[in-house]
A and B are shown apart, each in its own frame.
Chain A
Amino acid sequence: MIMFFVRRLLTSSLVVLVSTLFMYVMVDLAIDPLEDLRLSTAPNKQQLIDSRIALLSLNDPVLVRYFDWLGGVGSCFVGDCQLGTNWRTGQTVTSMLSGAVLTTLQLITFSTVVAILLGIMVGIVSALRQYTGFDYSITFVSFLLYSLPIFWVAVLLKQFGAIEFNTFLADPAIPTWFYVGSIVLVGVTLMAAVGGPLVTRMKVFGFAALATFAALFYIDRTQWLADPGLGIVVVAVSAVAWAFVVTTLSTGIGDRRSLYASLTVAGIGIALYYPMQYAWYYLDESWPLILGLGALAVFVGVVVGHLWGGPDRWRNARTAALTAIPVSFLLFIDQLMSSWATYTSSGLIKGRPIATFGSRTPNFDMGFWLNTLDLFTHLVLPTLTLILISFAAYTRYSRGSMLEVLNQDYIRTARAKGLTERTVVMRHAFRNALIPLASIVPVDIITLVGGAVITETIFSWFGMGRLFVQALGGNVIDPVMAYLLIVAILAVVANFVADLVYAVLDPRIRVNA
C-alpha cells in the first residue's frame, strides 16, 4: 500500500513538472507583455519598453525564466512561496491566490452538492422508468441543458432571474399562468416519476396538484415573499415528512424501529425550534459552529438509532442520522429566512435582493445571518447556472450506469427471490450503479475549482477562473502559471482520489502497486 502511494506520488509529480514546463513555453509564446507598449504614443516609449524588458527579464531564453519560476515554486516547500507578482498591479500572486481559491470554493460547493444529489436521483428514477414518457422527457431535457451555451444562459438569468425577479418582489402577486404552469409541471412530474397503475398515478397527480395550489395560494395571500419564515407548523410537518421519506428509502416503512428512530429525531428537531432561537443570541455564530452543530445533529441521530435497539442497531442509526440532516437544515433555513425582511429593506440593498455582480455587497457587514443572506443572494444565479450543466451530465451518467446494472443477472435473481421492488433497487441496484459514478464525481468536483471560468467572468466573482482570464488577457504570466500549477496539482490529486475510492468501493478491484 505504501509502495502504491510512493509510486503514485513520484509519477504524479513528474506529470505536474512536465506539464508546467509545457504550459510555460506555450503561455510565453501566446502572450506578449509588450503589446500595450507597442501601441503607445508616449515620447519615452523606447525607455518604457526597455525598462519592462529589464523588469521581466524578457531577453533571457524561455527555459531560464522557467527555471527561475520553478525555483520560486520550490521555495514553497520551505514555507516561503515566491510565485511571482502581477507586475501591472504590484500584488503578489500568493495573496491573489488565497482570495481567489476561497471565492471559487464558495461558488462551487453548493452547486456541486445540489447537482450531484439531484442529477443522480433523477437519473436513477429515469432508468427505472425506461421507455416511458418520463424517461424520454428527462432525456430530452438533459440533452437540451447539455447543448446550452453557459454564457448565454447566464445573461438570460441575469435579466430574468435577477432584474425581473427583483421588480416582481417589489409587488409580489403571483400571476395566473404561474399557478397553472406550476400545478401542471409538479403534478405531471410526480405522476410520471411514481409510475404504477393509472389509479395510483391519478391519485398522486391530484394530491400534488392540490398541495402546489395550496402552497402558492398561501404564498400569494400572506405576502410570504416579503417576509418569509417557515413557522413551527411547516417545520413540524416537513420534518415528519422527511422522516417518512428517508425511512422509505433507507429501510422501508415496514422496519418500525427505524421509522420510530427517524420520527424521534424529527421530534427532537421540532422540540428544539424555539430553544434554538434563544440559543442564537448567546452563541457566537460562525461557519465552523454551524457545521459543528450539523455534525452534532448527525451524532444525536446515531445515538437515538442505537437506543431504539432491535436486531440491527446500525440500520436504525443510519436512518436516524440521515433524517437528522434535512431536519437541522430546516431549522437553519428558518433562522435565515427570519432575517430576510431586514436584509431586503436595508440601505445598501434597497429592495433588490438578488444580485448579479460579485460575491458580496460592498461595505455590507451586519452580523452573521445578514452576511450569510448576502452571500446566498449573490450565490443564487451563479449556482443555478452551474447546476444546469452539471445536472445534465450527472443525469446521463447515472442513468446509463443504472441501466447497465438493471440488466445484470443478480437483479433478476433478486426479483425472482420475491424481494420488494424497494429492496431490489436500493440495496442491490443503487449501490452497484454508484460505483462507476464514484470514479467520475471526485474528478468533476476537484477540477471544477479551475473550471468555472465563464460563470466567474459573467458574474464578476473574483475567483480562480477570473484570475486566469484577466491575467491571460493582460499578458501577465505569473498568475497564469500559478493557476495552471494549481489546476494540474488538483487534477492529479483528483485522479488519485478517484482511483482510491473506486478501489475501496469495488471489491473486485485490488489496488496492486
Chain B
Amino acid sequence: MTIETPPSDPGSGAEVNENAIELKEVEGLSQGQIVFRRFIRHRGAIGGLFAIASVAVLAYTSIGVGPVPGWWKFNHFSPNDVINPGGTPTLGVPTWLGGSGFAIGDAPFGQDEIGRDIFARTMKGVQTSLNVMFIIGALSAFFGIIIGAVSGFYRGWVDQLLMRFTDLIITFPVLVIGAVLGKLAGSGGTIWLAVVLGAIAWTGLARLVRGDFLSLREREFVDAARVAGASNFRIIRKHMLPNAMGVIIVNTTLLMSAAVLLEAALSFLGFGVRAPDVSLGLMISQYQSAFSTRPWLFWWPGLFIIIIALSINFIGDGLRDAFDPRQKRVPSARAMEKASRRDAAAGV
C-alpha cells in the first residue's frame, strides 16, 4: 500500500504563503513609491511640508471656518477694547533674550487702531491665501492638463488653435490680466476671484504638458496600446498621463506658490480681495504708512506670506528632485578624502 500525497495545486495555501515573502522582497516599486522615498530624504521639502501643515492647522482651527468656531477668543472683524496702549502686542519675549518674560497674552500680534485683533485678521488672511492657492492650483492643473494633453496628442489644427489661444493669454503679464479680472470679479468675494485667476494661470502648465505629450506620443507603449485596441481617451488617461505626472505635479506646486504672491500683489494694488474680506496683501497695503510707529501691523502678514510661499517652493523643489531620474549624487571631494582616510585607517 503506497501512501500517496495528494498533488498540491498551485492555489493551495502553504505554497502561496512560502513564495509570497520571497516575492515581496523582489517586488518592483511603483513610481509613486520611488518618488515618495526620494521625497522623504529631501530635508528642505519635508521642512516646508511641516511648516505649511502647521500654518494651515493654526489658521483653520484658531478662528474657525464658516459655521465651525475656533479656539481663539477674538474674531477678525469686531473691534475690542484696546489692551496695551496704542495696540502694541502682548507677546512677551523670554527674559534671556532681553524681554519681560515669555507670555502670549490676549493680543500677541497687537491690535489696530479700532481694536481689531491682528492675530485673528492675520489668520483669516492666511485662510484666504490658502483657499485661493488651492483653488487656483486645482483649476490651473485641470485646464492645463486638458488643453496640453489634447494639443499634444492630436497635433494638427487642434494644436495650432489651442496654442494660439494660449499665446493670446501669455501675451500679457499675469499681474495685468489679474488686475483687470480682479476688478471685474473682486467684489464678488475671494472664491470668485480665485476661480477667475485660475482661468488664466494655466498657460505655462499647458505648454509643458503639451511638450511632454508630443514626445510621449512617439513611444512604443502608445503604439502597443493602440494595436491592442485602446481608444484615444484611454491611451491618454491610462498610459500617457501617468508618465507626464512628474512635470504636472512639480509645476502645479510652483504655480501655487506664484498664485499666493499674485493674490497678495493684486490685493495690495486694490484689484484683488476688497474690504471687508481680509487678505494679507490688503493688510500690508492698509498699514504700510504706519510702519515707523506700529511695525507689528506690518511684519506679521508679510512673514506669513513668506512662510507659505517658501514652504510651497521647497516642496516643489523636493518633488522635482524626486521625479528627476537623472539625478546622480556624486560625493564631494571632501567626502571622498574623508572616506579614503577612513579606509586607510581601517587598513583596507
Interface residues of A (CB under 8 A from B): 15-16, 18-19, 22-23, 26-27, 29-31, 131-132, 140, 143-144, 146-152, 155-156, 158-159, 163, 407, 447, 450-451, 453-454, 457-458, 468-469, 472-473, 480, 483-484, 487-488, 491-492
Contacts and interface: CB of A to CB of B under 8 A. Distances in A.
Question: Secondary structure of the B side of the interface?
Answer: helix
Contact of B330 (A131, A144, A146): A131
A450 B269 CA distance: 15
A146 B313 contact: yes
29 contacts: A15-B164, A15-B167, A16-B171, A19-B168, A23-B172, A23-B180, A131-B332, A143-B310, A144-B306, A146-B313, A147-B309, A149-B284, A151-B268, A152-B302, A152-B305, A155-B288, A155-B298, A158-B291, A453-B173, A453-B176, A453-B269, A454-B265, A457-B269, A473-B270, A473-B271, A484-B172, A487-B171, A488-B171, A491-B170
A29 B281 contact: no
B317 interface: yes
Nearest to A469: B269
B337 to A, nearest CB: 9
B265 A149 contact: yes
B323 interface: no
Given A472-B271, A491-B172, A151 B281 contact: yes
A155 B291 contact: yes
B266 to A, nearest CB: 10
A147 B168 contact: no
Given A26-B181, A151-B281, A472-B179, 4 more contacts: A15-B171, A30-B184, A457-B269, A480-B180
Contacts of B329: 131
A143 B172 contact: no
Given A149-B284, A151-B281, A473-B270, A26 B265 contact: no
Contacts of A159: 291-292
B214 interface: no
A148 B310 CA distance: 8
A30 B269 contact: no
B305 A149 contact: yes
A488 B172 CA distance: 6
Contact of B173 (A27, A148, A149, A487): A487
B154 to A, nearest CB: 21
A266 B181 CA distance: 55
B175 interface: yes
Contacts of A457: 269
Given A144-B310, A155-B291, A22 B168 contact: yes
A136 to B, nearest CB: 9
Interface residues of B, number: 42
B262 to A, nearest CB: 10
Interface in B234-265: 257, 261, 264-265
A444 to B, nearest CB: 11
B306 A26 contact: no
Given A143-B317, A469-B269, A30 B183 contact: yes
A152 B284 contact: yes
A488 B291 CA distance: 37
B119 interface: no
B314 interface: yes
B285 interface: yes
A149 B264 contact: yes
B35 to A, nearest CB: 20
A487 B176 contact: yes
Given A30-B184, A155-B291, A147 B171 contact: no
Nearest to A131: B332
Contacts of B44: 140
B180 A26 contact: yes
A454 B284 contact: no
B265 A468 contact: no
Contacts of A454: 175, 265, 268-269
A147 B183 contact: no
A15 B170 CA distance: 11
Nearest to A473: B270
Contacts of A163: 292
Most chain-B CB neighbours within 10 Å: which of A407, A472, A483, A492? A472
Contacts of B313: 143, 146-147
A26 B184 contact: yes
B264 to A, nearest CB: 5
Contacts of B310: 143-144, 147
A181 B298 CA distance: 26
Contacts of B173: 447, 450-451, 453, 487
A228 B298 CA distance: 35
Contacts of B305: 149, 152
A140 B164 CA distance: 37
A61 to B, nearest CB: 18
Interface string B158-201: 00000010011011110110011101100000000000000000
